[in-house]
Amino acid sequence: MPTAVTTPKNPLHPSVLPRLDKQYASFYNKYMANAPMIQDLPWDPAVRSSPAVPGGAAALPVSKTEDINLGDFSIRVFYPIEAPEGPLPIFIWYHGGGMVLGGINAENPFCTRVANSAKCVVVTVDYRMAPEYQFPIGHEDAWTAFEWVYKNGKDRLGVDVGRFGIGGSSSGGNLAAFVSQKAGLEGIPLNFMVLGVPVCDNTATAESYKSWNVNRYCPGLPAPKMLWYRDQYLPKEEDRSDPVSSPLYGSDESFTSSVDKVFIALAELDLLRSEGEAYSEKLKSFGKDVDCRTYPGVPHAVQAMDGVLDIARKWIKDMCTYVAVQFGRHPADVAMEDLYPENVEVDVPQIEGGGPWLKLNSPMVLGEAPLYREEDKTLHYVDCLQDPAELHILQLDNQGEAVGQPKIYQLEESVTVHFFRENQPGYICAYFAGVAFMKEDENGQMKLEILKEIIPQNERSIRRFNDGGVDCQGRFWLAEIDRKGLSLGMGRLPADYGEPLGRLWRYDPDGSLHLMEKGLVCGNGLAWSPDNKTMYLNDSAAGLVFAYDFDIPTGNISNKRLFIDRRDLGGEPDGMVVSVDGNLWIAMWASSRVMVYDSRGTHLKDIKFSARNMACTSWGGPKYDTLYIASAMDKRPNRRSDDDGGHLFKYQVGVEGVRKYKFKG
C-alpha cells in the first residue's frame, strides 16, 4: 500500500530553492518545514526556553562563568581558558530574537568561542523583552548593562575597559548599534563593533528595500514574521523611526562620534540585508572602517546554525577572528579546529583512529617519510629534527605488526625524505641542501654521497628541502621550504611578503636537475593518481593542495589548479598517499587527523588520532592496505599533556594503496 505524501506546513518557496545553500535546504526540509511560525501561535513566554532556531553547536568549556544581577535583569560573564596574565579586554554581546525570543542562554555557544579565541572576557545581556516589555525597555537595559560594565569592569570583573568591543545579532545588533551611538555622544570610547544580520531600520518595507522584495519568502525571517516581531516591541508607529530603534536614522553627530571600526555580517537571502548594506554605507560616509561581508545562499539566523552548516562555522570564525585581531591577536591564532574540535566540517564523518600503534622508547621530534619495503617487511622513516638526525628501520611481522623497537642510525646530515633505488642498495634522498645517495658502509654507519648541492651554504638560512616523491618513470622529485615563511605559521604571511622562496625540483636518473615550480612556503606530500596522469603537491603552510596534469614520458607538469583549500578550515596538508580507488590520504598537521579526499576534491572523512601533529603517511602491511603514520611532538607552550606526538600510528584502511616507485638510477 503506498505511503501517503504529506505537504509540509511551511515548505520552501520555489523562488528560494535555486538560491539556497544545499546544507540549509536539507536541514530545513528535515527539521523545520513542519514547525509552526511563531506569528501563527498564541503567545506563550515558555517558548523562550527552547532555541529560536535549531541546529546550533554546543558551547565550549571556559574557565569560569558568572551571573550578575543588575536589578531588573542580569548579565552573564564568560572568562576564557588559557588566558594571558593581566587584565583582559572586554566584549559585550547582545543576543537576537526579534526583541521577543532568546534570553541569558540564547547565544552562550558563540560567547564561549569569542572568549576563548580572542582571549577576552565576554558579557551577554539578559535584557527584558516584548510583549511584556515594549520599547524602549530593551534599549534601556542594553545601555544599563554597557554602562555598568564600563564603570565597574576594572574592579568587579578585572578587565581592561580601555579595550572594549560590543556586538550583537539581529535585534541584538540593533541594540549594539544604538549603544555605540549613545556611547559616542557621551564620550565613552569603544574600540570596535561586530554585527550579524542587524536590524537597522524598523520602518523598512518592500517599498523601501530591495531585499524585502527578493527575500520576502525566504525561510528564517519571512516578511510576516518580521512584522510580527516589530508589532510586539514597537506597537506605536511613531517609535519605529526613532533613532534609538532605527540607528540608520541617527544624527550626524551620533555617526561621527560612534565607534570607528565595524564588522557587519549579512546573509544574502535575508529580508534585512539591504538595510544592513545601507547602514554600512552610511558608516563609511562618516569615515568609519567597515568590513561588511555578505554570505551567499543563506537566510537570516544562519549564525545560530553552526552545528549543521559549514557556512555558519565560517561566519562564526570570521567574527571571532575580527574580535581577536582588534584585541591584538593574529588572524591565524583563531583556528577552526579550536572553535569546533569535534568535527571541523559538518557533514564529514569522524572516525576514531586512537592512540599510538608503537610507542617509541624515545619520541621523535619530527617523524617523516615512512616507507615500507615488501621484500623484507621493514618500515623506514626519519627523525629529521633530532640532533643528530636519525634514520629508523623497524622490522614488521607477517601481519604488519612491529617486532620490537626500530634500529636507529645517526645521520651526518638531516635527511627529510628518502626512496629505495631500483637494483641498487640504499636510498636516494633529499637532505637539507640537495640530493644524495644514502647507504650503510662496511662499518655499519649510514653515509651520504652528495649528488647535487642545490641550496648553497649562503642560502641555507632561508631555504631547506622537505618532502619528495618518485614518479612512475623513476625520477626523483624534491620540494623546498621557505624557512622564514614557515616560521611565521599557517596563514601568517604578511600581504607584502612577496613570492615565497620554496621551489620544486626534479632529479632524473641521468643526473640532470630541473626546476619545476616556484612560490612555495612549504612544499610537501607529492603523490600521483593511480593512472599517473595527475600529480598532487601540498603547500602545507599555505593550507593548499594543488593538482597538475602530469606527462608521463617527459615528466612535465601543466594546468596547475587549486585542488583543496584549507585556509579557512585549518589543518596543514602534510604527507600524502593515494589509494587505488584514487582517494588521497593526507596527514593534516595541527589537526590530529588524517583527512581523506576523493579525486574530485570532495572531503570524504577524517580519522582522528591522539597526536596533534600527524606528519606523514605511507602504505604497507601484507595486503598493502594499512596506513602507517609518523607524527611529531607538539612544542607549543599550551600543548596538551597527553599528546602522543613523536610516536608511530597505524590505521587499517581495507583499500589497497598505490605502491611507491623506486629511483631508476
Q: Which residues are catalytic?
A: 574
260 among the known binding-site residues?
Answer: no
Q: Give dist(CA 205, CA 210) in Å, integer.
A: 9
CB atoms within 10 A of CB 61: 8
Residue partners of 658: CB distance under 8 A and separation at least 6: 527, 528, 530, 577, 578, 579, 580, 619
Task: Tell me which residue of 597, 464, 451, 575 sits closest to 512, measured CA to CA.
Answer: 451
Cα separation, 254 vs 182, whole angstroms = 7
Residues 6+ apart with CB under 8 A from 237: none
Contact, 233 vs 135, CB < 8 A? yes
SS3 per residue for 549-596:
EECCCCCCEEEEEEEEECCCCCCEEEEEEEECCCCEEEEEECCCEEEE
Consult the annotation and say whether 34 binds a ligand: no
Full strand arrangement of the beta sheet holding 159-169 = 64-69, 74-79, 121-125, 88-94, 159-169, 192-196, 261-267, 289-295
Unique residue bearing C-alpha cell 506569528: 39
Helix (H, G, I), strand (E, B) or coil at 316: helix
> Are the C-beta atoms of 143 and 177 separated by less than 8 Å?
no
- SS3 for 34-70, per residue? CCCCHHHCCCCHHHHHCCCCCCCCCCCCCCEEEEEEC
Q: What is the DSSP letter of 412?
A: S
- Whether 464 has a binding-site annotation, put simply, is yes
Measured CA to CA, the distance from residue 20 to residue 156 in angstroms comes to: 46
Is residue 532 part of an annotated ligand binding site?
no
- Distance of alpha carbon 590 from alpha carbon 636, whole angstroms: 11
3-class DSSP assignment, residue 514: strand
215 is in an annotated binding site: no
Cβ pair 468, 430 in contact under 8 A: yes
Residues at the annotated binding site? 368, 464, 466, 524, 574
Residues at the annotated binding site for a divalent metal cation? 368, 524, 574
